[in-house]
Structure formats: C-alpha cells, structure tokens
Amino acid sequence: MTGTTQRTTQDWQAADSAHFLHPFTDFQGLARKGARIITEADNIYLRDSDGHRILDAMSGLWCVNVGYGQRALVDAAATQMQQLPFYNAFFQTATPPAIALAEKLAEVTPPQFQHVFFSGSGSEGNDTVVRMVRRYWDVLGQPARQVIISRHNAYHGSTMAGASLGGMSGMHAQGGLPIPNITHIDQPYWVEHKLPGETMDAFGIRAAGWLEAKILAIGADKVAAFIGEPVQGAGGVIIPPATYWPEIQRICDRHGILLVSDEVICGFGRTGHWFGCETMGFRPDLMTFAKGVTSGYIPLGGVMVGDRVAKVLIEQGGEFEHGYTYSGHPVACAVALANIKIIQDQNLVGHVHDDVGPYLAEAFALLGEHPLVGAAETCGLMGALLLVQDKATLKPFDAAVGIGMVCRGHCFANGLIMRAVGNRMIIAPPLVITRAQIDEMAALIRRCLDLTLADVRRHGWL
Ligand code: PMP
C-alpha cells in the first residue's frame, strides 16, 4: 500500500493508462477518459478516489455475494496465510482447508455431487470441463464423442476453451476461435425468437428442441456434452422459460449426453437456491463454479463432478493429466469456507428466495411501467430492464443510439453501478441487500431512466 492516500485521482489515472492493460477494454479509449479508481467498500457501497459513494448493483463482477467488509473472510485469510500460505495438491499431498472445502461443497451442492476439482477461476474451471468430458468418453471407449454444444451469446470465460465454449461473436473474431469440436445453438431469448401468439412454455420447448436438432445433425455418437448457464449473465440476464431446462435435460438423457451447468454466476444463492440448476429444475452431471464461492475476496473456481463421471474417472480412468498450481489453494479454500459459513449462518439463500428476491421482482414490475422499459425480468437477485423505443411493439432503438450506454452513463454519474448489455440494463446486487436498499436502488434506477428519456426526447430518438 505505497502511497495510496497521497496520490490524486489524476496521478492514479496517469499511471493506470501508462502501464495497466484492462480486461475487455479499448485501451486508447480508456486512456482518453481515465479509469474510475475504486478505493474502498462496505456492505453494498463502494467509494472512489474522489470520495463518491456508489451503490454497487453488480456485486463487483457478479461475485461479492456476502457484500463487502466481511471481517470473517479477512481473518480466515490472515490466519491461513500465517499457518500455511501455500502447498500444492499434486504429489499425493493435501491441505486441511482444501479437504474441508471439498467436503462442504459436497454438502451444499445437489446430491449427485460428492467430488470437486479445484481451479483458480471460472475460465479454468470450464477448461477443466472440456478436458474432463472428453476424457470420460475416452475411458468409456467412445473417443469419437468430442463435440461440446453451447449457445450463442453464452459466456463461459476468456481462456481459449472458455471463450470457445462462450458464444460471443466479438471474442470469436479475435484469435481464431472457437477451437475445434465446439459448436453453438441459439439462445432461448424470447425477445429474439418467440413467435407471435406462441406461449412462453411452448417457446421454451421449441428452443430446447434446437439442441436435439443439433445433436441429430452431428450424430449423437459424436457429442460429448451440452453446457449452459442456468440464466445467462454476461449475455444480458437472459432468463429462459420454465419449460426450457427440463426439456434440455430430457434431450441430453435421451442421447446419453453429459449435461454441464455453468454456475459461475448462478451459484451460491444468486437465483434463490444454492445453485441455478435447482431453480431451473435440472440435474447436471458437472457444474462449474467460481465467483460466489469466495464472494470474490480471493480467486477460486472449480468443477463439481457428479457421480456418473466421478465413478468412471476414479474406477477406470488412471491418471487424469490435468491440474493447476492453485488447485485447492489453502488460503482461497479457507476464505471459501468462511464465506459459505456466512451464507449458511445468515440464511442468505432463504433471504433471496423468500424476501429480497420477490421484493426485487415487485420493484422491477413498477420500473416496467416506465415509458422506456419494454420488459422487466428478474430471477432471484438477477434483473434486467429491456429499453425500447415503443413499449407496445417492443420496437428497439437504432443501434447507433447506443441506448444502454446512454443509460449507463447516467448511472455512473448518479452513484449507481448498473451494467448495459446492448439494450438491456442489468443488475445482480449482493445477496445481503435489504428491502430498504432495494428501494434506494430502484429510486436511482428510476432517476437514470428519466434522465435517459429526457435525452431521447431532446435528441429526437423517439
Ligand atoms: N462462466 C460464467 C457464466 C461467467 O459469468 C464467467 C465470468 N463472468 C466465467 C465463466 C469466467 O470466469 P472467470 O472470469 O473467473 O474466469
């Protein structure tokens, strides 16, 4: 912490643009503007280097589930760092925090999960998924089962395999992605794909059918797995119809294909159950997690390995030639244990399911009446507002207007972190948020919508 208090915002910004290449950033564009320097945080509020208080409706990057300033996590890290800051799990060794966390994860995840493979991040977790599902089919004598099916507009990370599994066309355009044997179907996004007069339930079944069509086109004997986020996060909080995931499950079962739930955002209470697959009603064979496992206080990720896969890898697999230096990092695991203890002791999953989740849904229903909002959708503590030019027809604004970015600009200036994904304004606040804080957040959102509407009228975008 050299000189953090002495330096001005301008100093920080100059040093930042001179040396720090930020993720998913136009480097030159940011250098012109200067980054916002976040210096401290408590509960659901951040403070920047100019002393502004900001309501963080995105939980950092969908990760600070227990909120900022939780002393127990700090203490867990300090204690573990003093006792044993690092040891690996490669050469027939293990550390108590890693073992205890594996045991705890078996307790809080659905019953088919008794085993975990640790990584350092969600992207690495999904790299492990790719290698593990292919290894599973190799061991079973079906090496032709190589193909992994995912969805357009999915986000599964930024490594070569993670970005390939993801369905972000901008990412695929840079660096020759996807890698071989990864293919995509359309997302179950009603605004894009639902037919006039079609019910949501019927749409969900039809959208799941795109998976079966893809499997049949490839040949089921070549398909290893299907992967999806229960609710797509980075894609814009795309909440599928209730019929979608159960039908996906039936299709995977019918063709013997492994089902992978990417729970990096949805895990650890975000949707009102411990895991998104429980909210959406399906039973995955593998589950990727990260973020909420430590509430982002320290990096940790991994893959929960269900009995079907674990049995084959353990009993017939021999050595699995894969692993990371930080697989089962003792400090990260100690922090995760303290974090899960808070989620359990404070019943944060019940808090989302019974209290603040339904309360957010009511608040969003009211915001849905705003003239700019064509649809207001929530699932637990994830929410999205679709900004439209015409409420009745859901006619979108011209893409050149960049309506989401206009609204996000107002959020930024008004002490609210809300993210824009195209024309969807999205939130995922810390699970510790209270009803009064949801009221405060909704009032800020309304003010930013009003300011955006004023821009729309002033510039004649209507
Ligand atoms: N999967 C999902 C669903 C995610 O949202 C993310 C990150 N936003 C990842 C994977 C990648 O995680 P990480 O950034 O920790 O590598």
Interatomic CA distance for residues 224 and 181, integer angstroms: 10
Mean pLDDT lowest for which of 2-6, 82-86, 438-442?
2-6
CA distance 211 to 207: 8
Q: Is the pLDDT of residue 340 over 80?
A: yes
Bridge partners (DSSP) of residue 50 are: none
CATH 3.40.640.10 fits 71-345, yes or no: yes
CA 91 from centroid of its chain's CA atoms:
32
* Ligand 1 site-directed mutation target among 63, 168, 260, 291, most atoms within 8 Å of CB: 291
Tell me which residue of 156, 435, 382 sits closest to 270, measured CA to CA.
Answer: 382
Would you say residue 92 has pLDDT above 60?
yes
Q: Which two tokens stand for residue 91?
A: 């050469």
196 Cα to the center of ligand 1, angstroms: 34
**Ligand 1 mean position, distance from CA 335 (Å):** 19
Q: What is the pLDDT of residue 6?
A: 80
Strands (E), 7-44: 38-42
Residue 123 Cα to ligand 1 midpoint, Å, equals: 6
Report the C-alpha gap between 163 and 169 in whole angstroms: 10
The tokens describing 35, both together, are 């980054």
| pLDDT tens-digit readout, 217-245 | 999 999 999 999 999 999 999 999 999 99
Q: What is the mean pLDDT of the chain?
A: 97
Residue 462 is predicted with a pLDDT of 74
Name the strands in the sheet holding 223-228, side by side, starting at the edge strand that comes first in the sequence: 113-119, 301-306, 286-289, 258-262, 223-228, 147-151, 182-185
Residue 1 has pLDDT above 50, yes or no: no
Per-residue tokens: 438: 């949801």
Question: Nearest residue CA, atom 7 of ligand 1?
Answer: 157
Q: In this structure, how many other beta carbons lie within 10 angstroms of the beta carbon of residue 223?
A: 26
Secondary structure (3-state) at 382: strand
Give 120-166 pLDDT, tens digit per residue: 999 999 999 999 999 999 999 999 999 999 999 999 999 999 999 99
Residue partners of 269: CB distance under 8 A and separation at least 6: 65, 292, 343, 348, 349, 352, 380, 431
Question: What is the reported pLDDT for 5?
Answer: 60
CATH number of 37-66+347-459: 3.90.1150.10
Which amino acid residue places its CA nearest to atom 1 of ligand 1?
156
Q: Is the pLDDT of residue 4 over 60?
A: no
Strand order in the sheet with 382-387: 373-379, 382-387, 424-427, 419-421
| Extents of the domains making up the chain | 37-66+347-459, 71-345
Q: What residues flank ligand 1, with Cβ below 6 Å?
A: 121-123, 126, 155-157, 162, 229, 233-234, 262, 264-265, 290, 301
Percent helix, strand and coil across the chain, each rounded to 5? 45, 15, 40
When pLDDT is averaged across residues 390-402 and rounded to a whole number, the result is 95
Q: What is the dihedral of CA 120, 59, 37, 22, to 10 degrees?
A: 40
Residue pair 462/389 in contact (Cβ under 8 Å)? The answer is yes
Question: pLDDT tens, 57-82?
Answer: 999 999 999 999 999 999 999 999 99
Residue 36 to residues 20, 25, 54, 425, Cα–Cα distance (Å): 13, 13, 11, 20
Asked if pLDDT for residue 3 goes beyond 80, the answer is no
Q: Which helix (DSSP H) or strand (DSSP E) does residue 376 occupy? A: strand 373-379
Q: Which residues of 348-360 are buried (b: 16+ CB within 10 A; e: fewer)?
A: bbebbbebbbebb
Closest ligand 1 atom to residue 263 Cα is 3
78 vs 297: CA distance, rounded Å: 12
Report percent pLDDT > 70 for the chain.
Answer: 99
Query: What interface predicted TM-score (ipTM) does this complex get?
Result: 0.99
Distance 296 CA to ligand 1 centre (A): 12
User: pLDDT tens, 265-319?
Assistant: 999 999 999 999 999 999 999 999 999 999 999 999 999 999 999 999 999 999 9
